[in-house]
Amino acid sequence: MIIVMCGPGGVGKGTVVARLVADDSRLWLSRSWTTRTQRPGEPDDAYTYVTREQFEQHIAEDGFLEYAEFLGNLYGTPWPDAHDDRDVVLEIDVQGAAQVLERSPEALFILLEPPSAEVQAERLRGRGDPPEQAERRIAVAQGELAEGRRLGAICIVNDDLDRTVAHCAQLITDARHPGLG
Ligand code: 5GP
């Protein structure tokens, strides 16, 4: 099963995903490629950091399940390992989600929403992005939320981390056992 986790910057997506994967050994998190530079304090393994040239080469080789350009940088999901029988979690933007859903309409698609634009802006400004980057991310957030809803995502307002994680875990369980709910 493919689990697509979307949500605008500052919604706490990374934290929720890390908890889900830590709590469930049947999940694994795909590591994306990006041409973005590493943020201060960002772990070395958050992404595979590559040049635009390397990324474009990988596109030419059909190396990505999906990829998209977000605020001037490329992000892409390498093809998941076909021999891994765990469920893969993709933490991607809505453009990428649209591509995955086209190939795999049965994927579980969750959209995390911030409790308010103020909370989101505060989180974004606090996390080490250059201020103009943070402002651009805030500006695109509403459009991302609207597009995610249009694509049929299950929307969860992330106003309480434990509750959000529990809700996502329940959705994953339900998706693994269709018909029991
Ligand atoms: P950030 O720069 O904040 O790490 O990521 C910017 C946006 O790109 C976020 O919405 C993040 O989820 C998304 N993203 C990360 N990896 C991928 C990917 O492999 N594909 C796509 N389409 N988006 C990604």
The pLDDT of residue 9: 86
Any domain includes 47: yes
The pLDDT of residue 180: 66
The pLDDT of residue 67: 98
User: What range defines the domain where residue 139 resides?
Assistant: 2-176
Structure tokens at 172: 């994953």
Which has the closest alpha carbon to 11: 96, 162, 113? Answer: 113
Any domain includes 58: yes
Q: Which segments of the chain have a pLDDT < 70?
A: 180-181
Any domain includes 128: yes
For residue 141 and ligand 1, the question of a CB distance below 6 A is answered with no
Any domain includes 181: no
Nearest CA to ligand 1 atom 10: 93
Any domain includes 146: yes
Ligand 1 mean position, distance from CA 75 (Å): 6
For residue 7 and ligand 1, the question of a CB distance below 6 A is answered with no
Any domain includes 134: yes
The pLDDT of residue 35: 98
| Whole-angstrom distance, CA of residue 122 vs CA of residue 124 | 5
Any domain includes 76: yes
User: Each residue of 92-128: b (16+ CB within 10 Å) or e?
Assistant: bbbbbbbbbbeeeeebbbbbbbbeeeeebbeebeebe
The CATH number covering residue 126 comes to 3.40.50.300
Any domain includes 97: yes
Structure tokens at 113: 């929403």
How many distinct structural domains can be found in the chain?
1
Ligand 1 mean position, distance from CA 93 (Å): 5
For residue 66 and ligand 1, the question of a CB distance below 6 A is answered with yes
